[in-house]
Amino acid sequence: MISHAINIHSLCVSQNHSGMRLDLFLSNQIDQLSRTYLKNIIEEGLVKVSDVTVIEPDFRVKLGQLVEVTVPAPKPVEHRAQNIELKIYYEDDDVLVVEKQAGLVVHPSPGHPDSTLVNALISHCGSSLSGIGGVSRPGIVHRLDKDTSGLMIVAKNDKSHQFLARQFSEHSMERAYLAVVWGIVSPSKGKISGNIGRSSRNRKKMAVVKKNGKRAITNYKLVKKLEKCASLIECRLSTGRTHQIRVHMADLGFPIVSDAIYGRKKNNPAKKEFEKFYKRAAEISRQALHAYLIGFEHPRTRQKMIFKSDLPLDMKKLIG
């Protein structure tokens, strides 16, 4: 068992969460840690309920109980450095702002042991990168899906990581995306606030759910109509849930173009006038989603920093 802790969370069970599994309760309350990781630390004996250590993830919490979670220190980084090209927008001793290309996985996992953004960062920054929550994801404060391109902020030391992770969990970090979706969005701007959780039909997918989901808010607006059959939209996140924009826009009836999980199953034009756009849509090999803006308070200077990036070539071609 790891003895040194980097953080302790004290949580009180509310009426809405009474009767919930312990691991699910914790994943609803601690955004930056996965349910799998929380299940592991429960089994490690690092969680107490009303001052009693509980090692069963399926323990049912009750109204008014105090849950104390001890998050262990990060494990040493063991991933190898790989010389993968990085597009760097900004770098100093504390932070790094990079643009992740579509197709690049952020961190190693059983299905992707290397050739990730983390491997590239280790090569560029060396051993100074920080970890989080006991998991070997050095420097990573937030994530982008494999096939989503765009800007990411990376912490180069532990103090910066904790400061930036707090901004992320408090939803004070500014993030905006550009997406191409099917249909002409109506109304032209709006706020989507459906909770997001695992789909009951397919556990590999996320969905807007009525029970046990996490609060999720996406603000969108129409930027440009595309040949009467699609829209370029901007989305700004008030929360950061898995697949949030993809799930919210699909639920609203405007799925992202070329989204293999939440998009349209058939892409045949309903009218001949749409054929040109549909041909361009068939050529893009990933969801048309790009994180074009990120804004944050610098961990050392406390200055507000905002960065923007252009749309990648495949999305420019799609828009026409």
String of DSSP letters for 110-144: TTB-SSSHHHHHHHHHGGG---BTTBS-TTBSS--
Q: Please tell me which residue in 23, 94, 145, 259 is annotated as part of the active site.
A: 145
Amino acid making up residue 300: R
Grouping H, G, I as helix, E, B as strand and the rest as coil, residue 10 is: strand
Residue 202 CB partners (closer than 8 Å, separation 6+): none
CB-side neighbour CA atoms (13 Å) of 232: 15
Cα–Cα distance between 216 and 245 in angstroms, integer? 10
Catalytic annotation present for 145:
yes
Query: Which residues is 53 bridged to in the sheet?
Result: 48
Query: Beta partners for 154?
Result: 96, 140
The residues carrying an active-site annotation are 145
